[in-house]
Protein backbone atom coordinates (compact mmCIF):
# COMPACT_ATOMS: atom_id res chain seq x y z
CA UNK A 1 0.00 0.00 0.00
CA UNK A 2 1.47 3.33 -1.04
CA UNK A 3 1.71 6.15 1.49
CA UNK A 4 -0.31 9.32 1.06
CA UNK A 5 0.37 12.84 2.20
CA UNK A 6 -2.18 14.00 4.74
CA UNK A 7 -2.42 17.32 2.88
CA UNK A 8 -5.17 17.16 0.26
CA UNK A 9 -4.13 17.47 -3.38
CA UNK A 10 -4.04 20.98 -4.73
CA UNK A 11 -3.84 22.72 -8.09
CA UNK A 12 -0.74 24.25 -9.64
CA UNK A 13 -1.42 27.92 -10.29
CA UNK A 14 0.60 30.19 -12.59
CA UNK A 15 3.92 31.24 -11.02
CA UNK A 16 4.85 33.51 -13.95
CA UNK A 17 2.91 36.19 -15.84
CA UNK A 18 0.64 34.72 -18.51
CA UNK A 19 0.17 36.37 -21.92
CA UNK A 20 -3.27 36.69 -23.48
CA UNK A 21 -2.53 33.85 -25.94
CA UNK A 22 -1.13 31.64 -23.18
CA UNK A 23 -4.20 32.47 -21.10
CA UNK A 24 -6.56 31.37 -23.85
CA UNK A 25 -4.63 28.20 -24.66
CA UNK A 26 -4.21 27.07 -21.06
CA UNK A 27 -7.65 28.14 -19.86
CA UNK A 28 -9.33 25.90 -22.42
CA UNK A 29 -7.51 22.95 -20.86
CA UNK A 30 -7.39 23.98 -17.21
CA UNK A 31 -8.39 27.46 -16.04
CA UNK A 32 -6.47 26.96 -12.78
CA UNK A 33 -3.18 27.04 -14.70
CA UNK A 34 -3.66 30.71 -15.62
CA UNK A 35 -4.75 32.02 -12.23
CA UNK A 36 -1.74 33.80 -10.66
CA UNK A 37 -0.28 32.00 -7.66
CA UNK A 38 -0.12 35.40 -5.93
CA UNK A 39 -3.89 35.12 -5.44
CA UNK A 40 -3.14 32.53 -2.76
CA UNK A 41 -1.00 35.06 -0.89
CA UNK A 42 -2.56 38.43 -1.76
CA UNK A 43 -6.18 39.51 -1.66
CA UNK A 44 -5.92 41.68 -4.78
CA UNK A 45 -3.79 41.13 -7.87
CA UNK A 46 -3.77 43.36 -10.95
CA UNK A 47 -3.60 41.15 -14.02
CA UNK A 48 -2.56 42.02 -17.57
CA UNK A 49 -4.58 44.46 -19.69
CA UNK A 50 -7.83 45.27 -17.86
CA UNK A 51 -8.06 42.22 -15.57
CA UNK A 52 -8.54 42.38 -11.79
CA UNK A 53 -8.16 39.23 -9.64
CA UNK A 54 -10.17 39.80 -6.47
CA UNK A 55 -9.85 37.80 -3.24
CA UNK A 56 -10.56 40.57 -0.75
CA UNK A 57 -13.83 39.74 1.08
CA UNK A 58 -14.80 43.41 1.47
CA UNK A 59 -14.19 44.12 -2.23
CA UNK A 60 -16.06 40.96 -3.20
CA UNK A 61 -19.03 41.96 -1.08
CA UNK A 62 -19.08 45.48 -2.50
CA UNK A 63 -18.88 44.17 -6.07
CA UNK A 64 -21.41 41.35 -5.70
CA UNK A 65 -23.78 42.82 -3.11
CA UNK A 66 -23.09 46.57 -3.13
CA UNK A 67 -22.48 49.03 -5.93
CA UNK A 68 -21.33 46.37 -8.41
CA UNK A 69 -24.26 44.02 -7.88
CA UNK A 70 -25.76 44.78 -11.31
CA UNK A 71 -22.54 44.20 -13.26
CA UNK A 72 -23.21 41.63 -16.00
CA UNK A 73 -21.71 38.21 -16.45
CA UNK A 74 -18.45 38.33 -18.42
CA UNK A 75 -18.85 38.22 -22.20
CA UNK A 76 -16.56 35.21 -22.53
CA UNK A 77 -18.74 33.28 -20.06
CA UNK A 78 -21.75 33.89 -22.30
CA UNK A 79 -19.75 32.91 -25.38
CA UNK A 80 -18.64 29.64 -23.76
CA UNK A 81 -21.95 28.27 -22.47
CA UNK A 82 -24.55 30.36 -24.28
CA UNK A 83 -25.16 27.75 -26.99
CA UNK A 84 -26.00 25.15 -24.33
CA UNK A 85 -28.19 27.05 -21.85
CA UNK A 86 -29.53 29.88 -24.01
CA UNK A 87 -30.86 32.95 -22.26
CA UNK A 88 -32.02 31.26 -19.07
CA UNK A 89 -31.39 32.28 -15.51
CA UNK A 90 -27.60 31.83 -15.61
CA UNK A 91 -26.92 34.22 -18.50
CA UNK A 92 -29.91 36.57 -18.76
CA UNK A 93 -29.55 40.15 -17.55
CA UNK A 94 -31.69 43.07 -16.42
CA UNK A 95 -35.46 42.79 -16.28
CA UNK A 96 -35.51 39.43 -18.06
CA UNK A 97 -33.27 38.00 -15.33
CA UNK A 98 -35.33 39.59 -12.55
CA UNK A 99 -38.54 38.11 -13.95
CA UNK A 100 -37.00 34.63 -14.15
CA UNK A 101 -35.46 34.85 -10.70
CA UNK A 102 -38.81 35.87 -9.21
CA UNK A 103 -40.59 33.15 -11.15
CA UNK A 104 -38.32 30.29 -10.15
CA UNK A 105 -37.29 31.17 -6.60
CA UNK A 106 -40.30 29.32 -5.11
CA UNK A 107 -39.12 26.09 -6.77
CA UNK A 108 -36.12 26.00 -4.46
CA UNK A 109 -37.97 26.94 -1.30
CA UNK A 110 -37.36 24.73 1.74
CA UNK A 111 -40.97 23.53 1.64
CA UNK A 112 -40.24 21.64 -1.61
CA UNK A 113 -37.03 19.96 -0.46
CA UNK A 114 -38.61 17.09 1.53
CA UNK A 115 -40.26 15.82 -1.67
CA UNK A 116 -37.02 16.07 -3.65
CA UNK A 117 -34.99 14.51 -0.81
CA UNK A 118 -37.03 11.31 -1.15
CA UNK A 119 -35.76 10.93 -4.71
CA UNK A 120 -32.19 11.63 -3.58
CA UNK A 121 -32.50 9.03 -0.81
CA UNK A 122 -33.70 6.40 -3.28
CA UNK A 123 -30.65 7.03 -5.45
CA UNK A 124 -28.33 6.99 -2.42
CA UNK A 125 -29.70 3.63 -1.26
CA UNK A 126 -29.14 2.16 -4.74
CA UNK A 127 -25.54 3.44 -4.87
CA UNK A 128 -24.78 2.07 -1.39
CA UNK A 129 -26.28 -1.31 -2.30
CA UNK A 130 -24.25 -1.52 -5.51
CA UNK A 131 -20.99 -0.61 -3.76
CA UNK A 132 -21.67 -3.12 -0.98
CA UNK A 133 -22.24 -5.87 -3.54
CA UNK A 134 -19.08 -5.01 -5.49
CA UNK A 135 -16.48 -4.24 -2.84
CA UNK A 136 -13.01 -3.13 -3.89
CA UNK A 137 -11.50 -0.36 -6.00
CA UNK A 138 -14.01 2.06 -7.47
CA UNK A 139 -13.66 5.31 -9.40
CA UNK A 140 -15.71 7.77 -7.32
CA UNK A 141 -15.23 10.34 -10.10
CA UNK A 142 -17.58 8.08 -12.10
CA UNK A 143 -19.85 6.97 -9.24
CA UNK A 144 -20.61 10.56 -8.18
CA UNK A 145 -21.85 11.89 -11.55
CA UNK A 146 -23.81 8.67 -12.09
CA UNK A 147 -25.60 9.44 -8.81
CA UNK A 148 -26.52 13.01 -9.73
CA UNK A 149 -27.46 11.94 -13.27
CA UNK A 150 -29.88 9.43 -11.75
CA UNK A 151 -31.33 12.19 -9.59
CA UNK A 152 -31.88 14.39 -12.64
CA UNK A 153 -33.68 11.54 -14.36
CA UNK A 154 -35.85 11.07 -11.27
CA UNK A 155 -36.75 14.67 -10.49
CA UNK A 156 -37.01 16.06 -14.04
CA UNK A 157 -37.31 13.35 -16.68
CA UNK A 158 -39.18 10.65 -14.78
CA UNK A 159 -42.53 9.29 -15.90
CA UNK A 160 -41.92 9.87 -19.61
CA UNK A 161 -43.26 6.77 -21.33
CA UNK A 162 -41.88 7.68 -24.75
CA UNK A 163 -38.25 8.05 -23.65
CA UNK A 164 -36.31 5.43 -21.71
CA UNK A 165 -34.02 6.22 -18.78
CA UNK A 166 -31.09 4.92 -20.86
CA UNK A 167 -31.88 7.38 -23.67
CA UNK A 168 -31.93 10.15 -21.09
CA UNK A 169 -28.63 9.02 -19.57
CA UNK A 170 -26.85 8.79 -22.95
CA UNK A 171 -28.30 12.12 -24.07
CA UNK A 172 -27.26 13.93 -20.91
CA UNK A 173 -23.70 12.55 -21.04
CA UNK A 174 -23.30 13.72 -24.65
CA UNK A 175 -24.76 17.11 -23.68
CA UNK A 176 -22.34 17.60 -20.78
CA UNK A 177 -19.36 16.55 -22.92
CA UNK A 178 -20.36 19.10 -25.55
CA UNK A 179 -20.67 22.07 -23.20
CA UNK A 180 -17.38 21.17 -21.45
CA UNK A 181 -15.45 21.64 -24.71
CA UNK A 182 -14.29 25.25 -24.32
CA UNK A 183 -13.34 27.24 -27.43
CA UNK A 184 -9.96 28.99 -27.55
CA UNK A 185 -11.51 31.81 -29.60
CA UNK A 186 -14.29 32.32 -27.07
CA UNK A 187 -11.75 32.66 -24.27
CA UNK A 188 -9.86 35.24 -26.35
CA UNK A 189 -13.09 37.16 -26.98
CA UNK A 190 -12.73 36.97 -30.76
CA UNK A 191 -15.74 37.77 -33.00
CA UNK A 192 -18.49 35.15 -33.18
CA UNK A 193 -18.20 34.92 -37.00
CA UNK A 194 -14.68 33.46 -36.78
CA UNK A 195 -14.82 29.65 -37.21
CA UNK A 196 -14.61 27.56 -34.02
CA UNK A 197 -13.37 23.98 -33.81
CA UNK A 198 -16.71 23.25 -32.17
CA UNK A 199 -18.42 24.05 -35.46
CA UNK A 200 -16.97 20.82 -36.86
CA UNK A 201 -18.67 18.89 -34.05
CA UNK A 202 -22.32 18.04 -34.39
CA UNK A 203 -24.63 20.19 -32.27
CA UNK A 204 -26.90 17.19 -31.93
CA UNK A 205 -26.23 16.82 -28.16
CA UNK A 206 -27.75 20.28 -27.59
CA UNK A 207 -30.58 20.05 -30.11
CA UNK A 208 -31.49 16.56 -28.89
CA UNK A 209 -31.65 17.71 -25.25
CA UNK A 210 -33.75 20.73 -26.19
CA UNK A 211 -36.16 18.48 -28.10
CA UNK A 212 -36.33 16.12 -25.13
CA UNK A 213 -36.95 19.02 -22.76
CA UNK A 214 -39.84 20.28 -24.89
CA UNK A 215 -41.29 16.79 -24.99
CA UNK A 216 -41.19 16.14 -21.25
CA UNK A 217 -42.59 19.61 -20.47
CA UNK A 218 -45.50 19.12 -22.87
CA UNK A 219 -46.26 15.64 -21.58
CA UNK A 220 -46.10 16.66 -17.93
CA UNK A 221 -48.38 19.64 -18.56
CA UNK A 222 -50.90 17.31 -20.19
CA UNK A 223 -50.97 15.13 -17.06
CA UNK A 224 -52.09 18.08 -14.92
CA UNK A 225 -51.08 16.42 -11.64
CA UNK A 226 -52.98 17.56 -8.58
CA UNK A 227 -49.91 17.39 -6.31
CA UNK A 228 -46.29 18.04 -7.36
CA UNK A 229 -44.17 14.90 -7.15
CA UNK A 230 -40.81 16.10 -8.43
CA UNK A 231 -38.86 19.15 -9.57
CA UNK A 232 -40.48 19.34 -13.00
CA UNK A 233 -43.92 19.39 -11.36
CA UNK A 234 -42.84 22.31 -9.17
CA UNK A 235 -41.50 24.11 -12.24
CA UNK A 236 -44.72 23.67 -14.21
CA UNK A 237 -46.78 24.70 -11.18
CA UNK A 238 -44.82 27.97 -10.99
CA UNK A 239 -45.52 28.69 -14.66
CA UNK A 240 -49.29 28.31 -14.26
CA UNK A 241 -49.50 31.75 -12.69
CA UNK A 242 -46.51 33.39 -14.42
CA UNK A 243 -46.32 33.00 -18.20
CA UNK A 244 -43.01 32.30 -19.91
CA UNK A 245 -42.38 31.54 -23.58
CA UNK A 246 -41.52 27.92 -24.36
CA UNK A 247 -37.92 28.48 -25.45
CA UNK A 248 -37.07 30.35 -22.22
CA UNK A 249 -38.65 27.52 -20.23
CA UNK A 250 -36.45 25.04 -22.14
CA UNK A 251 -33.42 27.28 -21.48
CA UNK A 252 -34.16 27.22 -17.76
CA UNK A 253 -34.85 23.52 -17.58
CA UNK A 254 -31.45 22.84 -19.18
CA UNK A 255 -29.87 25.50 -16.96
CA UNK A 256 -31.09 23.63 -13.88
CA UNK A 257 -29.86 20.33 -15.38
CA UNK A 258 -26.38 21.77 -16.04
CA UNK A 259 -26.09 23.54 -12.68
CA UNK A 260 -27.44 20.59 -10.72
CA UNK A 261 -25.38 17.79 -12.17
CA UNK A 262 -21.64 18.39 -12.32
CA UNK A 263 -21.46 20.76 -9.37
CA UNK A 264 -22.97 18.25 -6.94
CA UNK A 265 -21.11 15.36 -8.55
CA UNK A 266 -17.74 17.07 -8.09
CA UNK A 267 -18.48 17.83 -4.44
CA UNK A 268 -19.41 14.19 -3.82
CA UNK A 269 -16.25 12.82 -5.45
CA UNK A 270 -13.93 15.21 -3.61
CA UNK A 271 -15.90 14.64 -0.39
CA UNK A 272 -15.37 10.87 -0.55
CA UNK A 273 -11.67 11.48 -1.25
CA UNK A 274 -11.28 13.72 1.81
CA UNK A 275 -12.98 11.13 4.01
CA UNK A 276 -10.60 8.43 2.77
CA UNK A 277 -7.76 10.81 3.62
CA UNK A 278 -9.18 11.36 7.11
CA UNK A 279 -10.55 8.00 8.38
CA UNK A 280 -11.15 9.27 11.93
CA UNK A 281 -13.43 12.01 10.63
CA UNK A 282 -15.13 9.51 8.34
CA UNK A 283 -15.93 7.33 11.36
CA UNK A 284 -17.22 10.31 13.35
CA UNK A 285 -19.50 11.39 10.52
CA UNK A 286 -20.75 7.83 10.05
CA UNK A 287 -21.58 7.58 13.75
CA UNK A 288 -23.50 10.86 13.53
CA UNK A 289 -25.52 9.60 10.55
CA UNK A 290 -26.30 6.27 12.20
CA UNK A 291 -27.40 8.00 15.40
CA UNK A 292 -29.95 10.02 13.44
CA UNK A 293 -31.13 7.55 10.77
CA UNK A 294 -29.72 4.02 11.32
CA UNK A 295 -32.00 2.51 8.64
CA UNK A 296 -34.63 3.52 6.12
CA UNK A 297 -34.46 6.43 3.69
CA UNK A 298 -32.58 9.52 4.88
CA UNK A 299 -35.12 12.35 5.12
CA UNK A 300 -34.74 16.09 4.71
CA UNK A 301 -35.66 16.63 8.38
CA UNK A 302 -32.72 14.41 9.42
CA UNK A 303 -30.13 16.78 7.97
CA UNK A 304 -30.56 19.38 10.69
CA UNK A 305 -29.19 16.80 13.16
CA UNK A 306 -26.05 16.13 11.08
CA UNK A 307 -23.87 19.22 11.70
CA UNK A 308 -20.59 17.35 11.24
CA UNK A 309 -21.63 16.01 7.84
CA UNK A 310 -22.70 19.51 6.84
CA UNK A 311 -19.36 20.93 8.03
CA UNK A 312 -17.53 18.26 6.02
CA UNK A 313 -19.40 19.24 2.87
CA UNK A 314 -18.71 22.93 3.48
CA UNK A 315 -15.02 22.19 3.93
CA UNK A 316 -15.07 20.08 0.76
CA UNK A 317 -16.54 23.05 -1.13
CA UNK A 318 -13.92 25.31 0.40
CA UNK A 319 -11.02 23.17 -0.80
CA UNK A 320 -12.65 22.09 -4.06
CA UNK A 321 -15.36 24.57 -5.05
CA UNK A 322 -17.21 23.30 -8.10
CA UNK A 323 -17.62 26.88 -9.32
CA UNK A 324 -13.95 27.64 -8.71
CA UNK A 325 -13.90 30.75 -10.88
CA UNK A 326 -16.39 33.28 -12.23
CA UNK A 327 -16.19 36.70 -13.82
CA UNK A 328 -18.09 39.95 -14.31
CA UNK A 329 -17.61 42.91 -16.65
CA UNK A 330 -17.54 46.34 -14.98
CA UNK A 331 -20.50 48.38 -16.25
CA UNK A 332 -19.20 51.70 -14.89
CA UNK A 333 -16.18 53.35 -13.29
CA UNK A 334 -15.94 52.69 -9.55
CA UNK A 335 -13.29 52.78 -6.81
CA UNK A 336 -13.19 50.30 -3.91
CA UNK A 337 -10.54 50.33 -1.16
CA UNK A 338 -8.28 52.47 -3.33
CA UNK A 339 -8.56 50.21 -6.38
CA UNK A 340 -9.81 52.02 -9.49
CA UNK A 341 -11.99 49.91 -11.76
CA UNK A 342 -12.92 51.31 -15.16
CA UNK A 343 -15.95 50.54 -17.28
CA UNK A 344 -15.23 47.44 -19.36
CA UNK A 345 -12.64 46.00 -16.97
CA UNK A 346 -12.75 42.25 -16.35
CA UNK A 347 -13.43 41.32 -12.72
CA UNK A 348 -12.12 37.83 -12.02
CA UNK A 349 -13.18 36.00 -8.86
CA UNK A 350 -10.82 33.02 -8.37
CA UNK A 351 -12.91 31.24 -5.72
CA UNK A 352 -10.33 28.46 -5.50
CA UNK A 353 -7.70 31.00 -4.39
CA UNK A 354 -10.09 32.92 -2.15
CA UNK A 355 -10.91 29.72 -0.25
CA UNK A 356 -7.19 28.91 0.19
CA UNK A 357 -5.84 32.42 0.72
CA UNK A 358 -3.24 32.46 3.49
CA UNK A 359 -4.28 35.94 4.64
CA UNK A 360 -7.85 34.76 5.29
CA UNK A 361 -7.60 31.19 6.55
CA UNK A 362 -5.70 29.32 9.24
CA UNK A 363 -3.80 26.44 7.57
CA UNK A 364 -5.69 27.00 4.32
CA UNK A 365 -4.37 23.88 2.55
CA UNK A 366 -5.43 21.55 5.37
CA UNK A 367 -8.75 19.74 5.75
CA UNK A 368 -10.41 21.08 8.89
CA UNK A 369 -14.22 20.80 8.84
CA UNK A 370 -14.36 22.09 12.44
CA UNK A 371 -13.81 25.60 11.07
CA UNK A 372 -17.47 25.52 9.98
CA UNK A 373 -18.77 24.60 13.43
CA UNK A 374 -17.74 27.86 15.09
CA UNK A 375 -20.24 30.35 13.77
CA UNK A 376 -20.43 32.35 10.54
CA UNK A 377 -17.40 33.56 8.59
CA UNK A 378 -16.94 37.17 7.40
CA UNK A 379 -19.09 37.83 4.35
CA UNK A 380 -17.23 37.45 1.08
CA UNK A 381 -14.66 34.96 2.43
CA UNK A 382 -16.54 31.76 1.55
CA UNK A 383 -18.61 31.88 -1.64
CA UNK A 384 -18.97 28.39 -3.18
CA UNK A 385 -22.35 29.49 -4.58
CA UNK A 386 -21.47 33.14 -5.23
CA UNK A 387 -23.16 36.02 -3.39
CA UNK A 388 -25.51 38.91 -3.88
CA UNK A 389 -28.63 38.97 -6.07
CA UNK A 390 -27.12 36.34 -8.39
CA UNK A 391 -26.15 33.87 -5.70
CA UNK A 392 -26.90 30.34 -6.96
CA UNK A 393 -30.66 29.87 -6.77
CA UNK A 394 -30.18 26.14 -6.14
CA UNK A 395 -27.66 26.34 -3.30
CA UNK A 396 -29.96 24.71 -0.74
CA UNK A 397 -31.09 22.15 -3.31
CA UNK A 398 -27.44 21.22 -3.97
CA UNK A 399 -26.54 21.00 -0.29
CA UNK A 400 -29.58 18.79 0.34
CA UNK A 401 -28.75 16.50 -2.57
CA UNK A 402 -25.11 16.11 -1.52
CA UNK A 403 -25.95 15.50 2.15
CA UNK A 404 -28.69 12.92 1.45
CA UNK A 405 -26.57 11.02 -1.08
CA UNK A 406 -23.48 11.03 1.12
CA UNK A 407 -25.37 10.07 4.28
CA UNK A 408 -27.10 7.21 2.46
CA UNK A 409 -23.79 5.85 1.17
CA UNK A 410 -21.63 6.33 4.29
CA UNK A 411 -24.02 4.31 6.47
CA UNK A 412 -23.08 1.19 4.51
CA UNK A 413 -19.73 1.99 2.88
CA UNK A 414 -16.27 2.86 4.18
CA UNK A 415 -13.83 4.56 1.78
CA UNK A 416 -10.07 4.07 1.97
CA UNK A 417 -7.17 4.58 -0.40
CA UNK A 418 -6.37 2.10 -3.13
CA UNK A 419 -2.93 1.72 -4.67
CA UNK A 420 -3.58 4.38 -7.29
CA UNK A 421 -2.30 7.80 -8.23
CA UNK A 422 -4.45 10.67 -6.99
CA UNK A 423 -5.67 13.11 -9.68
CA UNK A 424 -5.37 16.88 -9.44
CA UNK A 425 -8.11 19.51 -9.66
CA UNK A 426 -8.87 20.66 -13.22
CA UNK A 427 -11.17 23.58 -13.99
CA UNK A 428 -13.04 23.76 -17.29
CA UNK A 429 -16.80 24.18 -17.06
CA UNK A 430 -16.59 23.13 -13.39
CA UNK A 431 -13.71 21.93 -11.19
CA UNK A 432 -13.39 18.18 -11.61
CA UNK A 433 -10.65 15.59 -11.17
CA UNK A 434 -7.92 15.33 -13.82
CA UNK A 435 -8.51 11.59 -14.08
CA UNK A 436 -9.92 8.58 -12.21
CA UNK A 437 -10.19 8.97 -8.44
CA UNK A 438 -9.81 5.38 -7.29
CA UNK A 439 -10.80 4.51 -3.72
CA UNK A 440 -11.49 1.22 -1.98
CA UNK A 441 -15.15 0.77 -1.06
CA UNK A 442 -15.85 -1.73 1.74
CA UNK A 443 -19.05 -2.69 3.52
CA UNK A 444 -19.44 -1.31 7.02
CA UNK A 445 -19.97 -4.16 9.54
CA UNK A 446 -23.55 -4.45 10.76
CA UNK A 447 -24.17 -2.89 14.15
CA UNK A 448 -21.20 -0.51 13.92
Q: What is the mean pLDDT of residues 9-29?
A: 77
Please report the pLDDT score of residue 92 as a whole number. Answer: 85
Please report the pLDDT score of residue 180 as a whole number. Answer: 61
Q: Which of 42-51, 218-227, 422-431 has the lowest mean pLDDT?
A: 218-227
Q: What is the tens place of the pLDDT at every residue in 86-120?
A: 777 887 888 988 988 888 888 888 999 999 999 99
Task: Check residues 254 and 164 and name the one with the higher pLDDT.
Answer: 254
Measured CA to CA, the distance from residue 234 to residue 218 in angstroms comes to: 14
* CA-to-CA separations, 240 to 224, 227, 237, in angstroms, rounded: 11, 14, 5
Would you place residue 82 in the very low, low, confident or very high pLDDT band (cuts 50, 70, 90)? low
Q: Give 3-state DSSP helix, strand, coil % of the chain, rounded to 5.
A: 55, 10, 35
Q: What is the tens place of the pLDDT at every residue in 286-306?
A: 999 999 999 999 999 999 999
Length of the chain: 448
**Can you list the positions of beta strands (E) in 78-212?**
136-139
Q: Which of 260, 29, 83, 14 is nearest to 156 (CA)?
A: 260
Q: What is the tens place of the pLDDT at every residue in 151-207?
A: 888 888 765 555 566 666 677 777 767 666 554 444 444 444 444 444 435 567 778
Measured CA to CA, the distance from residue 313 to residue 309 in angstroms comes to: 6
Please report the pLDDT score of residue 330 as a whole number. Answer: 96
Q: What is the tens place of the pLDDT at every residue in 344-369?
A: 999 999 999 999 999 999 999 999 99
For the stretch 308-311, contacts whose Cβ atoms lie closer than 8 Å and that sit 24 or more positions apart, written own/partner, are: 308/281, 308/284, 308/369, 308/373, 309/285, 309/403, 309/406, 309/407, 310/372, 310/399, 310/403, 311/369, 311/370, 311/371, 311/372, 311/373
Q: Fold for 20-443, please state it.
A: Cytochrome p450 (1.10.630)
Average pLDDT, the chain: 86
Please report the pLDDT score of residue 39 as a whole number. Answer: 97
Amino acid sequence: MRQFDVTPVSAKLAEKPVSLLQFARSAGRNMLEVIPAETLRQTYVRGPLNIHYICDPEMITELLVGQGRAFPKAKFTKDIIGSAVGNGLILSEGEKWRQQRRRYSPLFAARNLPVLARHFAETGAEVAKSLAEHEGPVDVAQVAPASTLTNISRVIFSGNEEVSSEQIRVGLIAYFNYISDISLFDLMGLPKWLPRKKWLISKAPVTDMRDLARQVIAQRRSENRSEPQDFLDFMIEALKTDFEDEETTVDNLLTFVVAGHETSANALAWGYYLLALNPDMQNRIRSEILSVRPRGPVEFADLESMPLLRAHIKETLRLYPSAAFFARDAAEDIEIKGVKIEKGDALFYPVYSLHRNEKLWDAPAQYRPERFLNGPLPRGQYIPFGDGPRICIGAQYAETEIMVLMASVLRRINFSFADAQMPEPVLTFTMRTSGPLILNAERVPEGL
